[in-house]
Amino acid sequence: MRGVGPGRGQRPGGRREPLEALLARLLERDREDLPFATVDHARARRVGAPEVVYAEGKTPAQVAGIARRIVARSGHCLVTRAGEAAQAALRRDFPRSRVNPLARTVLVGRAPAGVGRVCVVSAGTSDLPVAEEAAETLAALGSRVERLVDVGVAGLHRLLARSPAVRRANAVVVVAGMEGALASVVGGLTARPVFAVPTSVGYGSSFRGLAALLAMLNSCAPGVAVLNIDNGFGAAFAAHRVNALAAGKRTAARRKATRRPAARKRPAARPPAGRKR
């Protein structure tokens, strides 16, 4: 409760404030009420990243309004599932924003410096919208991204030729539709966590991603965690947390290895016995 008023739970006049009122006042400082949204400014402190705006179902004016509030407090804001109208509104308000039309993402402001490495693997070109959503989310959160595109199991040699990229990453995001087999293959090639995203790409019996989802959930490869259909954002957020932890540990280990121990002073040599100084 430090930093609130002149004392803990104490008002300027010396009277104690009820605990409920004190907590409410604390929470109000991290919340901004709009007619159409309640902006959570404490999100970055709690989970490590500012609130992300999901644009689908919101008007362009609502998307831009929420983004302005987040940028004012956090310095940057990621918008996902942004249609053309939302993209145009954000471009008007933030001319230097980074728009990825394929991913339907907009990054307003500057992302944190990239650390570590996450590999985003997509089975086919049709899976790229979801894979790009994952890649853009990772970059906005502060992870370095390496992309492997169109390396599905119909031509397995394409993945095997680039498997070192999978193994050197701290985490892997695999995006695949159809039968979703790529996640199991990648899970058998690396000791890193694999976050599998089924996509709604496929013919009738794929049931808009359900076939790939069930296949990934039944993977025999250990270490494969499965996200919802087309949820590139969710996979990226989970992979970033793993990557950030791994990169932090390696940085700490390097600092420890380069730190030289303090030189010990040698005791003064004693003269031989029987000899006067």
The string of pLDDT tens digits covering residues 198-233 is 999 999 999 999 999 999 999 999 999 999 999 999
Q: Name which of 236, 196, 237 is nearest 220 in CA terms.
A: 196
Per the listing, tokens 């000899």 go with: 275
Per the listing, tokens 């409410």 go with: 24
In the structure encoding, which two tokens stand for residue 147, read together?
A: 């992309």
Q: Which amino acid would we find at residue 169?
A: A
Q: Kind of pairing, strands 224-226 and 194-198?
A: parallel
The pLDDT assigned to 90 comes to 96
Are 106 and 99 in contact by the 8 Å Cβ rule? The answer is yes
The pLDDT assigned to 2 comes to 43
Per the listing, tokens 């471009």 go with: 91
The pLDDT assigned to 25 comes to 63
State the Rg of the chain over Cα: 26
Torsion of CA 234, 237, 238, 241, to 10 degrees: -170
Tens place of pLDDT per residue across the chain (277 aa): 344 444 544 555 556 667 777 666 666 667 777 888 878 887 888 888 889 999 999 999 999 999 999 999 888 999 999 999 999 999 999 999 999 999 999 999 988 989 999 999 999 999 999 999 999 999 999 999 999 999 999 999 999 999 999 999 999 999 999 999 999 999 999 999 999 999 999 999 999 999 999 999 999 999 999 999 999 999 999 999 999 999 887 666 666 666 655 556 666 666 666 655 5
Q: Where in the chain is the domain with CATH 3.40.50.1970?
A: 112-254
The pLDDT assigned to 153 comes to 93
Distant-in-sequence, close-in-space partners of 63: CB < 8 Å, separation ≥ 6: 53, 55, 79, 82, 86, 89, 90
CATH architecture type of domain 112-254: 3-Layer(aba) Sandwich (3.40)
The pLDDT assigned to 206 comes to 93
